[in-house]
Chain A
Amino acid sequence: DAKTTQPNSMESNEEEPVHLPCNHSTISGTDYIHWYRQLPSQGPEYVIHGLTSNVNNRMASLAIAEDRKSSTLILHRATLRDAAVYYCILVSGSARQLTFGSGTQLTVLP
């Protein structure tokens, strides 16, 4: 499975944008880039996914590099409720399994 690399932790101030990076240099052409987050004491929840083009939804935006070897999850205005572990996961077209890494622990400071 293609792997992803994320920083262990990041900090952000409340109401400021947050850019969470993910490197996936061995990504294949059929791999989708998915992001999940896990709030304290909860199961993971889906955030966003994309293949080649940037994506937006109500929770976040996903910016994908032109060569697809990296991506960035953007939270436009962090709130205290966004404090969580964020996982960047590659999902191939034929697979129905998720492989979780260690993710990035996001701390949001008031």
Chain B
Amino acid sequence: DAGITQSPRHKVTETGTPVTLRCHQTENHRYMYWYRQDPGHGLRLIHYSYGVKDTDKGEVSDGYSVSRSKTEDFLLTLESATSSQTSVYFCAINSGQGGQETQYFGPGTRLLVL
């Protein structure tokens, strides 16, 4: 599992409240990712990081921000949660290079925004 943990694993919150999800890895991987997955769909990339303080947007970044102050932690923040952000959020790390990268995923965080 590449030593990836996510916290919390489940969260219920109300519209308009801020929410922060944490991804923690223990193997010093440079690249980290946040995806969301909605029912019946594949994963969509929200943001990713290629090093401490180095981040970039993915396909569905609106309404989300990220921070990476340490190699091992990648935080995803919903500044003001909306019901459309109800989803399962997966963190991942990247191992390898040159097209042979392999991503390893965390167990996911189920977020319900009421």
A interface with B by C-beta (< 8 Å): 30-32, 34, 36, 41-46, 49, 51, 85, 87, 91-103
Closest to B92 in A: A43
Contact A93 B99 (CB under 8 A): yes
Could you tell me the distance between the alpha carbons of A26 and B109 in the complex, rounded to whole angstroms?
35
B55 to chain A, nearest CB (A): 13
Contact B99 A44 (CB under 8 A): no
Count of A-B contacts with CB under 8 A? 61
Max count, chain B CB within 10 A of own CB: residue among A43, A44, A51: A43
Interface residues of B toward A: which range? 20 to 34
Contact A100 B44 (CB under 8 A): yes
Could you tell me the distance between the alpha carbons of A44 and B107 in the complex, rounded to whole angstroms?
9
Instruction: Other than A46-B103, A91-B100, give 7 A-B pairs with Cβ distance below 8 A.
Output: A44-B103, A45-B104, A49-B102, A85-B42, A87-B42, A98-B43, A102-B40
User: B62 on the interface (CB 8 Å rule)?
Assistant: no
List residues of B (45-78) whose CB comes within 8 Å of A's CBs: 45, 48, 50, 58-59
A30-B99, A31-B99, A91-B99 given; A46·B104 CB < 8 A: yes
Max count, chain B CB within 10 A of own CB: residue among A30, A32, A51, A97: A97
Contact A103 B102 (CB under 8 A): no
Q: Which of B42, B48, B50, B102 contacts A100 (CB 8 A)?
A: B42
